[in-house]
Amino acid sequence: MPDSKRKLFSSTNIAIAVAALGYFVDVYDLLLFNVVRWQSLEDLGLTIDQQTQTGVWLLNLQLIGMLVGGVLWGVLGDLRGRRSVLFGSIILYSVANLLNAGVGATSGVFSFVGGFDAITMYGILRFVAGVGLAGELGAGVTLVAEICSRHGRGIAVTIIGAVGVVGAIAAGVVNEFTGWRMSYAIGGVMGLALLVLRFAVFESGLFDAMKSESPNLSRGLLPILKSWTLALRLLKVVVVGMPIWFTLAIIVGLAPKIAGEMGLSPTPKPGHLVALFYTGAIFGDISSGLLSQRLKSRKIPIGIFLFGTAVGCALVLLLGPRSAAWYGAATVVMGFFSAYWIVVITTASELFGTNVRATVTTMTPNLIRASAVPISIFFALIAQPLGAVGATWLSGGLCFVLAALALWRLPEPFGRDLDFYEE
């Protein structure tokens, strides 16, 4: 192999590894809160009712932080480069997680954080961590998509997705053996360790070419805000992915409440359900990515997995009342089919030009995650008259119908040349 090709091959592999490990840390932290929130809030002295309300509030703060960060890092990626986002996002996330380990503490390295009101500080740090995490997946996928061949980028992004979802299982396992404070601290240390590896990553050639050939081209968020066509296209991609976060925020995140109403005792532990969900998701991510390559389509695999996710949700609600084991088994099925996530992010990257690609690809996963906020609010409003199980049926049904309609209206982007701009 000539030296130039060997160098390109090596730099591509490093970029894939960095993006995959960054997504691992992203998923670890994002799901860690779902794993530890009941335990941590109980440890901080809240009652079960307070834990439910405060837990939703903290999750929403984290997701709002990711929404803010999605715009911030996405625009930065289109203005300053994809590589700059990989550094800034991981530093912010790591510091927030290390400090989160000291919330409400009276001793230890970060006990100075315990001098502030515990719940207020918890909320601030979840918001800051959300801002930091927001840049991980989008910047990584954008960089990898732009340096890989048009037919090979699907495989590369599938690797990112498969490695990333292991982070959720790691969150559950780490918390099982260390407790919630050490789990946050470990997440921060992993982020700082990953920071070192990122110095070996090179900038995207498409971005460098755009800077030199079209220095006056409008980049970032502005072209999207000025174009109804681009904004609507972005909205459709987000809605297609919305059911994924319905499953996580409602069926997994609120499992104690839903399973309790079903009559299960003891109710399934969220940490165990997260591990089961992502056990299915590991194989689902690989399957959806490979199916996309096999069919040479993004839309068809998304449609198949979207339908499977709806079936998985129905199985949880229909079989879950039998026992915690049935609830868990149905969660694995739901997790497998919910893993069309990485194909959705790849679709976002392929549907938009180089001058807005980082913005769109970074905003998309965070807008999808932030969709859990209105879903949670809607769920809370209808849970009073319908109950938790009835509210799950109605809110989930609405998510799936909207996603199917949005997917139908999207163009097929598979194999598209990414060297183009949005005017």
Helix (H, G, I), strand (E, B) or coil at 237: helix
Instruction: Determine the Cα–Cα distance for residues 57 and 60; give it in Å rounded to an integer.
Output: 5
Confidence of residue 3 (pLDDT cuts 50, 70, 90): very low
Q: Which of these ranges, 192-201, 329-338, 387-396, 414-423, has the smallest mean pLDDT?
A: 192-201
Q: Which tokens go with 92? A: 């912010």
Question: What confidence score (pLDDT) does residue 411 get?
Answer: 93
Q: Which amino acid is at 194?
A: L
DSSP 265: S
State what percent of residues in the chain have pLDDT above 70.
Answer: 97
Question: What confidence score (pLDDT) does residue 252 get?
Answer: 87
> Does residue 352 surpass a pLDDT of 90?
yes
> Does residue 5 surpass a pLDDT of 80?
no
Angle between helix axes 136-147 and 82-100 (nearest 10 degrees) is: 150
Domain assignments of the chain as residue spans, ordered by start: 3-408
> Does residue 231 surpass a pLDDT of 80?
yes
Between 315 and 10, the higher pLDDT residue: 315
> Does residue 148 surpass a pLDDT of 90?
no
> Does residue 8 surpass a pLDDT of 50?
no
Highest mean pLDDT among 56-65, 257-266, 336-345: 336-345
Question: What confidence score (pLDDT) does residue 56 get?
Answer: 80
Confidence of residue 271 (pLDDT cuts 50, 70, 90): low
Confidence of residue 174 (pLDDT cuts 50, 70, 90): confident
Confidence of residue 264 (pLDDT cuts 50, 70, 90): confident
Q: What is the mean pLDDT of residues 404-423?
A: 91
Q: Which tokens go with 268? A: 């399934």
Question: What confidence score (pLDDT) does residue 360 get?
Answer: 94
Q: What is the mean pLDDT of residues 343-347?
A: 93
> Does residue 50 surpass a pLDDT of 50?
yes
Confidence of residue 204 (pLDDT cuts 50, 70, 90): confident
Instruction: Determine the Cα–Cα distance for residues 203 and 354; give it in Å rounded to an integer.
Output: 13
- Mean pLDDT, all residues of the chain: 87
> Does residue 348 surpass a pLDDT of 50?
yes
Each residue of 291-312: pLDDT tens digit? 999 999 999 999 999 999 999 9
Confidence of residue 344 (pLDDT cuts 50, 70, 90): very high
Question: What confidence score (pLDDT) does residue 6 get?
Answer: 52
DSSP 321: G
Per-position b or e across 276-306, b if 16+ CB within 10 A of its CB: bbbbbbbebbbbbbebbbeeebbbbbbbbbb
> Does residue 351 surpass a pLDDT of 50?
yes
Instruction: Check: CB of residue 161 under 8 Å from CB of residue 142.
Output: no
Residues shown for the chain: 423
Q: What is the mean pLDDT of residues 27-52?
A: 82
Alpha helices in 152-269 (DSSP H): 153-178, 180-197, 205-213, 222-226, 228-246, 255-262
Question: What confidence score (pLDDT) does residue 349 get?
Answer: 92
Q: Right CATH number for 3-408 from 3.40.50.1000, 1.20.1250.20, 3.20.20.60, 3.30.530.20?
A: 1.20.1250.20
